[in-house]
Structure 1
Amino acid sequence: MATDGFPTLKPAFTVLIEIDPGLPVGTLSSGPNLIWVKITSGTLVSHESYPTKVNATLLSGADWIHGDPSGEIQRLDVRSIFKTDDGALLNFSYLGLINMDPEIATVFAGTAKPGLVTQWGAVTHKFIQTGTEKYKKLEDEIYVAVGRFLVEEGKVTVEYKISAVVP
């Protein structure tokens, strides 16, 4: 099967973010359920082969999760700020979705057992913006990612593997 014309992916970053349990806002007048999730800590680190080197830590972030009425899909809307080790601020946001399966449902319900590592059930597209010239090239890339949950005693981490889309 030929793949001519299809884009390829270049590994770009790994993100690890720790999250608090979600706060259910409830069913909105527009229909979906809304859950607000605080992101408590995190890192954004370039893949070794990615040309723009980034080593950043989370300053602030949250996720506004809209649940489809079926409960099978959760739609992500994340907004966060990372600070690089050289002091630059990166606006890091993404939209995406989580395909709910029984393991991921335990994470959302707060009943996941320590040691659980879910399948890569989240798919997102990322946006990076900055006013720092050194990192401006990051604004000119299209990024996609897959994510999974890592559950430890008293802690839930989301891991994303992010790739740049290459024509």
Structure 2
Amino acid sequence: MISGTVKSEGSFSPALNGEFIGQGNDYIYVDPDGKHLRLNAHGVIKTTDDATIYLNYTGVVDVTPELTAILGGQSESTVTPFGNSFTHMTFETGEEKYASLENGVWVAAGHFIYEKGSPTIVEYKVSKVTHK
């Protein structure tokens, strides 16, 4: 994770709007059968109100022909569908405004956006698990 943005939906509280800073770590390894990638990513978000939030996520990605083409540099510009990449996220911060993020259970579905000649983008839709 070397760049990117984080922005919550309009009705979410606390509103979160920031970008990744510094050099994150994004560990990816392939299962022995080659059918899944395992993710373990770490980064720091700096919000527009100058708070810092540490993000860690782990997850599983299905290795599809489309993803193989993207990662192998053989793809034309493409966007993969949601449904083949899922993560669990945790947050840590010393900022009281964002402390509630530490107590949630967070899951995300991701997909890949690839434009030939540009870095691959991974986009996640993140949800908080709740009960009623």
Q: Deviation of residue 52 (structure 1)?
A: 1.0
Identify the residue that residue 78 of structure 1 maps to in structure 2: 41
What is the rounded CA distance, in whole Å, between the counterparts of 1:148 and 1:118 in structure 2?
A: 6
Identify the residue that residue 128 of structure 2 maps to in structure 1: 164
For residues 53-107 of structure 1, the C-alpha deviation after alignment (integer angstroms, 9 at most, x for no partner) is 0101110323101210111000000000110001111101100010111001112
Structure 2 unaligned residues grouped into runs of 5+? none
Identify the residue that residue 104 of structure 1 maps to in structure 2: 67
Q: Give 1:66's aligned amino acid.
A: Y
Identify the residue that residue 31 of structure 2 maps to in structure 1: 68
TM-score (norm. length: structure 1): 0.74
Q: Deviation of residue 48 (structure 1)?
A: 1.3
Asked whether 1:58 is paired with 2:36, we answer no
Q: Deviation of residue 111 (structure 1)?
A: 2.1
Structure 1 unaligned residues grouped into runs of 5+? 1-38
How many residues were matched structurally?
Answer: 128
Q: Deviation of residue 133 (structure 1)?
A: 0.7
Asked whether 1:137 is paired with 2:94, we answer no
Identify the residue that residue 33 of structure 1 maps to in structure 2: none
Matches within 5 A, 1:143-162: 143-153=106-116, 154-162=118-126
DSSP 3-state at the match of 2:69? helix
Identify the residue that residue 126 of structure 1 maps to in structure 2: 89
Percentage of pairs with the same residue: 35
What is the rounded CA distance, in whole Å, between the counterparts of 1:110 and 1:98 in structure 2?
A: 18
DSSP 3-state at the match of 2:15? coil
- Structure number with higher strand proportion: 1
Report the RMSD for the aligned CA atoms in angstroms.
Answer: 1.0
Structure with larger RCO (C-alpha < 8 A, sep 6+): 1
DSSP 3-state at the match of 2:50? coil
Q: Deviation of residue 43 (structure 1)?
A: 0.4
Identify the residue that residue 8 of structure 1 maps to in structure 2: none
For residues 92-126 of structure 1, the C-alpha deviation after alignment (integer angstroms, 9 at most, x for no partner) is 11000101110011122122222x00022110001
